[in-house]
Chains A and B, each alone.
Chain A
Amino acid sequence: MSILEYNGGSVLAMKGKNCVVIGSDTRYGLQAQTIATDFPKTFKMTDQCYVGLVGLATDVQTIRERLQFRLKLYSLKEEREMEPVVVGNVISSILYERRFGPYFVEPVVAGLQGPEKKPYICAMDLIGAPVFADDFVVSGTSAQALYGLAETLYKPDMDEEDLFETVSQCLLAAVNRDAVSGWGASVTIITPDRIITRTLKGRHD
């Protein structure tokens, strides 16, 4: 049993037309036992950027706290919000600092980059190696299932509601086949004007 499977959890992010959608399951468990069903793994960084952190729960919380610290310090010094590309680079840097004793998280960044609000997504392994995709990125214990679903259901330039529906269907179908992910999902749509988060009901098992 890998340490990355101890708590379980999955995250998916997809690009659309002038929007991105990021979703995760909401289970918090210790191997077979489910402790909480309201533990989403996506966190707001700025109005234009969300981060999905999946893996060992203690590291999910620690990395989230360290990131929030870095973001606040950045906005004090720079007097502006951190862009998604920079958020990704900062996470990558934080993870690589621990190259030989890593944090057990495999993060996903989703946001709208720059003044043009261009959709941006990125995934990383546990030591910070980034992967940039034009379509979608996945992470977590049901990554293989998410790949299979996203590869088939993704279309370029979907609008907000279509993209939300696609991410939701992919996420639910994938986590429902995974023993350590699930108990519902939390899906967030990020557009230039607003952020909408919806909670989905899935199989409670």
Chain B
Amino acid sequence: TTRTHNRGQMESRTAIFSAPTAADAAGPRTRHGFSPYVNNGGTVLGICGSDFAIVAGDTRLSEGYSISSRTYTKVIQLTDTTVLATAGMQADFHTLHKVLLTRVRQYEDDHGHQPSTPALAQLLSVILYSRRFFPYYAFNVLGGVDDDGKGCVFSYDAVGSFERVQYSASGTGHELVQPLMDQQIGWKDQRATALKPVLSVEATVDLLKDTFASASERDIYTGDYLDICVVQAGKKISIERCELKFD
């Protein structure tokens, strides 16, 4: 059969017992497409409060069913008041982060001060849209403190559409996480909204850890370690790494 032609000596005897591949099923005249995109997995989440924003991302980098790295950071600090976390394709979001850092330095050279979080939010949108017809496979969550000292989180799609929100999740675990945030932080479908507590940093970090623990249980691409980055008005940005499940 034609299948044995490309196999080595050892394999040819057993080749007839192996399952037909997709190429066999499609026929002899199929083209092998090259896809420029791959999903390296992972989940990122941003939540803001009255004077703080917390951005978190797991550190697992995957390709298919394999793990490329257990300790790859998806969270990057852009300025003293802004942090970005991105899920999607590592090649694209690593480059995007480099481009953004360069643009931040240029802004500082031109203006003499760091860009504000809403300014960076707009910049990220414009950079993403500049690649409208060959997008960055990057799903961003930007978090920080604005010029009024209030926490803000911005949520993006791959081509730069963005919105300021109270919380946002992106990545392979976003479907698991986003509705949970609706329930726990948004208090949607709860009527006693007058009793809704004002979130503190500690309570939000606890919720975040629980959320990622749950996401790691059910999403194979989420796990290993969790980077939690807290941006608070008037304080230095802090990053904490804690463990998730390694399976």
**Which A residues have a C-beta under 8 Å from some C-beta of B?**
142, 144-145, 147-149, 151-153, 169-170, 172-174, 176-177, 202
- Sample (11) of A-B pairs whose CB atoms are under 8 Å apart: A144-B218, A148-B177, A148-B215, A151-B218, A152-B180, A152-B214, A172-B188, A173-B183, A173-B188, A177-B178, A177-B182
Check B182 against A152 for contact (C-beta < 8 Å).
no
Q: How far is the CA of A177 from the CA of B183 in the complex (A)?
A: 11
Main secondary structure of the interface of B (DSSP, over half): helix
Q: How far is the CA of A104 from the CA of B175 in the complex (A)?
A: 23
Residue of A nearest to B218 (CB): A147
Q: Apart from A148-B178, A173-B183, what are 10 other A-B pairs with CB-CB below 8 Å?
A: A147-B176, A148-B214, A149-B179, A149-B183, A151-B217, A173-B182, A173-B188, A173-B189, A176-B188, A177-B182
Does B211 interact with chain A (Cβ within 8 Å)? yes
Q: How far is the CA of A101 from the CA of B190 in the complex (A)?
A: 43
Contacts of B218 in A (CB 8 A): 144, 147-148, 151
**Which B residues have a C-beta under 8 Å from some C-beta of A?**
173, 175-180, 182-184, 188-190, 210-211, 213-215, 217-218
Residue of A nearest to B182 (CB): A173
Residue of B nearest to A150 (CB): B214
Check B175 against A151 for contact (C-beta < 8 Å).
no
Contacts of B190 in A (CB 8 A): 169
Question: Of A144, A145, A148, A170, which is in contact with the most chain B CB atoms at under 10 Å from its CB?
Answer: A148
Q: How far is the CA of A176 from the CA of B187 in the complex (A)?
A: 13
Check A152 against B210 for contact (C-beta < 8 Å).
yes
Residue of B nearest to A144 (CB): B175
Q: How far is the CA of A176 from the CA of B179 in the complex (A)?
A: 8
Contacts of A202 in B (CB 8 A): 189
Check A148 against B179 for contact (C-beta < 8 Å).
yes
Contacts of A147 in B (CB 8 A): 176, 218
Contacts of B214 in A (CB 8 A): 148, 151-152
Q: How far is the CA of A174 from the CA of B190 in the complex (A)?
A: 14
Q: How far is the CA of A153 from the CA of B213 in the complex (A)?
A: 12
Query: Shortest distance in angstroms between B27's beta carbon and chain A's nearest beta carbon?
Result: 22
Check B176 against A144 for contact (C-beta < 8 Å).
yes
Contact pick for B182, options A142, A151, A176, CB 8 Å: A176
Q: How far is the CA of A177 from the CA of B179 in the complex (A)?
A: 7
Q: How far is the CA of A97 from the CA of B188 in the complex (A)?
A: 43
Q: How far is the CA of A169 from the CA of B179 in the complex (A)?
A: 10
Check B180 against A149 for contact (C-beta < 8 Å).
yes
Question: Of A142, A149, A152, which is in contact with the most chain B CB atoms at under 10 Å from its CB?
Answer: A152
- What 10 A-B pairs are tightest by C-beta distance, nearest first? A148-B176, A151-B214, A144-B175, A173-B183, A172-B189, A145-B179, A152-B214, A147-B218, A173-B179, A177-B179
Q: How far is the CA of A153 from the CA of B175 in the complex (A)?
A: 16
Q: How far is the CA of A58 from the CA of B175 in the complex (A)?
A: 27
Contacts of A177 in B (CB 8 A): 175, 178-179, 182
Question: Of B178, B179, B183, B210, which is in contact with the most chain A CB atoms at under 10 Å from its CB?
Answer: B179
Contacts of A176 in B (CB 8 A): 179, 182, 188-189
Query: Shortest distance in angstroms between A111's beta carbon and chain B's nearest beta carbon?
Result: 25
Contacts of B177 in A (CB 8 A): 148
Q: How far is the CA of A91 from the CA of B190 in the complex (A)?
A: 36
Check A145 against B183 for contact (C-beta < 8 Å).
no
Q: How far is the CA of A202 from the CA of B189 in the complex (A)?
A: 7
Check B189 against A148 for contact (C-beta < 8 Å).
no
Contacts of B178 in A (CB 8 A): 145, 148, 177
Query: Shortest distance in angstroms between A123's beta carbon and chain B's nearest beta carbon?
Result: 14
Residue of A nearest to B216 (CB): A151
Contacts of B173 in A (CB 8 A): 148
Q: How far is the CA of A142 from the CA of B179 in the complex (A)?
A: 10
Query: Shortest distance in angstroms between A95's beta carbon and chain B's nearest beta carbon?
Result: 24
Residue of A nearest to B211 (CB): A152
Q: How far is the CA of A46 from the CA of B183 in the complex (A)?
A: 33
Q: How far is the CA of A151 from the CA of B217 in the complex (A)?
A: 8
Residue of A nearest to B190 (CB): A169
Q: How far is the CA of A41 from the CA of B207 in the complex (A)?
A: 32
Q: How far is the CA of A145 from the CA of B184 in the complex (A)?
A: 14
Q: How far is the CA of A169 from the CA of B217 in the complex (A)?
A: 20
Query: Shortest distance in angstroms between B54's beta carbon and chain A's nearest beta carbon?
Result: 17
